[in-house]
Every structure is written in structure tokens, then in C-alpha cells.
Chain A
């Protein structure tokens, strides 16, 4: 079965600094991958997705992610972090089961932004 690992529980960066959040997946074929963001007490918002094609995908709010098959990774990046980016970030992969599917989520990475 597919799985997703986000090795960093917390990350703290200074405002204006660059950011990279790690995501590793386990899946034999080409995975369908997502990054979501969650502000405290809110639902999840889709940042970006990867299905196929160009391995560097652009998302909303200035985020991008790069799919690297050789490393089974789909890391999220942002060149300059804003204080409003402080939130929890979840990586997810589609898991097919018989005739249906579900999303498998990582345990999340909480981003703290220093002024």
C-alpha cells in the first residue's frame, strides 16, 4: 500500500528566507501527489498537485514542488516566506483500492515563521 512520510514535525524559518518541506512517498508506479495547507482551526486548502508531465509544478501563494522519482520525493518549496505562511502542511498520495481510491496523508509539518 502507498504511504507518505513527512520527516519534519516542525520547521521554523525567518520571514523572507527560503523554505523546503520534505515529503517522501512509497509507490511503485507514478503517483498522484498533493500538497495541502491548513491554518489553525480551519479546513485544508489545496496548494498544488502532480499527476504527470513536468516534474516541477507551480501552485498557489508562490509555492512550487518538484517530483523526483529517483528519490521518491515531492518536496514543497517557496523562495521567500511570508508571516502568513505559518500553518500546517500536508503531503498526500492517491491510494487505489479495488474499484475505489482514497488519499493517504502524511502526518504534517508545522511551519513557524520568525519575524
Chain B
């Protein structure tokens, strides 16, 4: 059964600690994305990766870091430098075969991780 998994669903951390959120996909998609969602603000792009060993900053990358060592995995680390880390984090992937098929732009989302930092 193909899809995107994020773990854990709920995560609690003390202020000043780094925390890593997991995102795994078995859809054989090239591109992966991390979004942050706050109430009333929609989705904001943190980082994205269109190929293994390469990633780019999104609109709100400060205080976050990522790696893309495997096609299936795109973990996000929320560092202590992120001033307001409490949020709902969503991971997504897309085929990125956009040159031949616009459906490559469709993004498929995981169930999300709710991070609470106190």
C-alpha cells in the first residue's frame, strides 16, 4: 500500500532541544517537501528536495534543516534556533515528471506531525 508516513503523530519537546521529524514515502517520487501549518495561515514551505542529495530553502527555512540521503526519506530537524516551533508539520511528495506530464506537479501529503515545544 503506497503512501507517505510521518512519525510520530504527536511530539513534545522542551525549549532549546533539537528535534527530528520523520517522513518516508514508498511512491517512488522524486520530489519531497516540508510545510508548516499554523491556524489561519495555510501552508508555508520550509524546504524542498527534487532529487537525492539536493534540497532548497523554501519561504521559512530559518531554524530548520533537512537531509535527503535516500529517495524515500526526507527528515526535518527543528533546531533550537527556530523561535516558534510549535506547529503542525506536513510532509509531501510529487512525481516531478512535469516536463512530460503536468500531473508531476500533484503533491501527496502525509498525515502530519504536531510538534509542541514548551
Contact = CB atoms under 8 A, between A and B. Distances in A.
A103 B40 contact: no
A38 to B, nearest CB: 8
Given A43-B112, A100-B56, A103-B107, A32 B102 contact: yes
Contact of B42 (A32, A51, A52, A108): A108
Contacts of A100: 48, 50, 56
B12 interface: no
Contacts of A103: 45, 105, 107
Interface in B64-110: 88, 90, 92, 98, 102-103, 105-110
Given A90-B43, A100-B50, A102-B48, A46 B112 contact: no
A94 B88 CA distance: 22
Interface string A35-48: 01000011111100
B109 A43 contact: yes
Nearest to B98: A101
B105 A101 contact: yes
Nearest to A45: B109
17 contacts: A36-B109, A41-B114, A43-B4, A43-B112, A44-B90, A44-B109, A46-B106, A51-B102, A52-B102, A100-B48, A100-B50, A100-B56, A101-B105, A105-B43, A107-B40, A107-B42, A108-B40
Interface of B: 4, 6, 33, 40-43, 45, 48, 50, 56, 58, 88, 90, 92, 98, 102-103, 105-112, 114
Given A36-B109, A42-B111, A49-B103, 10 more contacts: A43-B90, A43-B92, A43-B110, A44-B107, A45-B109, A90-B42, A100-B56, A102-B45, A102-B58, A106-B42
